[in-house]
């Protein structure tokens, strides 16, 4: 029971900062009104397969490798004055295959390679835990928006699989899929927007011509 309580307190936690219990998830900002134009004020990125190469079961920061165009894509977001965050499922934490210090070191390495991000929002649970944060549920998107001081509808989510798109849709946020070899054809077909690489996805979010 004590372990279960600890996991519930750790529903969403920061990245490179020391591990600590965070505030519980809250609902996002005011709902979008019909016909209301919403400006994107933040970009939320999936981590593995989107910002960095997906290395299953990775516990070693030295294996972190940026995805093509990731650095340029993030710099373009920062230059435009938008906030940034990572929203990532890390169920190995709940299973005991990954420790929080290892996760924080990996996330720190991501920032060493790609520059600082404004927030890290992590779900440590596996699919059977029944939490609100694990994608495709919207909890990570809602919490990231809260930390960044924007509404979920003002966040654009960029990821590589269908659960990223589903989490965005459930939170009322726009999204862009950047497929990899692990992305299913069904996920591509169902995505609201598909981009060939991360930079192209960011340009689409920013309304730039590619």
* Strand spans (E) along 62-164: 83-89, 119-123, 155-159
> Does residue 179 surpass a pLDDT of 90?
yes
Confidence band for 112, pLDDT divided at 50, 70 and 90? very high
Q: Are 87 and 157 in contact (CB under 8 A)?
A: yes
Model's pTM, two decimal places? 0.84
Give the C-alpha separation, 13 to 19, whole Å.
7
Confidence band for 131, pLDDT divided at 50, 70 and 90? very high
| Neighbour-count burial of 123, counting CB atoms closer than 10 A to its CB (0-12 exposed, 13-18 middle, 19+ buried) | buried
* Residue pLDDT, tens place only, 69-99: 999 999 999 999 999 999 999 999 999 999 9
Predicted pLDDT at 126? 86
> Does residue 34 surpass a pLDDT of 50?
no
Give the C-alpha separation, 36 to 34, whole Å.
6
Catalytic residue numbers, as ranges: 46, 48
Q: What mean pLDDT, rounded, does the chain reach?
A: 85
**How many CB atoms lie under 10 A from the CB of residue 33?**
7
Maximum alpha-carbon separation in the chain: 53
> Does residue 4 surpass a pLDDT of 50?
no
């Amino acid at each position: 029971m004590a372990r279960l309580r600890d996991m519930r307190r750790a529903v969403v936690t920061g990245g490179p900062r020391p591990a600590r219990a965070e505030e519980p998830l809250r609902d996002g900002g005011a709902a979008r009104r019909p016909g209301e134009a919403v400006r994107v004020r933040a970009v939320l990125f999936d981590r593995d397969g989107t910002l960095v190469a997906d290395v299953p079961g990775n516990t070693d920061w030295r294996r972190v490798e940026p995805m093509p165009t990731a650095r340029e894509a993030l710099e373009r977001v920062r230059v435009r004055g938008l906030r940034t965050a990572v929203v990532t499922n890390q169920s190995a934490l709940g299973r005991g295959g990954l420790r929080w210090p290892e996760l924080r070191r990996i996330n720190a390495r991501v920032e060493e390679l790609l520059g600082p991000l404004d927030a890290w929002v992590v779900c440590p649970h596996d699919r059977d835990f029944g939490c609100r944060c694990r994608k495709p549920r919207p909890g990570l998107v809602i919490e990231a928006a809260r930390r960044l001081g924007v509404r979920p509808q003002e966040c654009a989510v960029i990821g590589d699989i269908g659960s990223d798109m589903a989490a965005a849709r459930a939170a009322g946020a726009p999204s862009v899929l950047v497929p990899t070899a692990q992305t299913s054809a069904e996920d591509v077909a169902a995505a609201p927007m598909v981009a060939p690489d991360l930079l192209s996805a960011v340009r689409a979010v920013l309304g730039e011509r590619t």
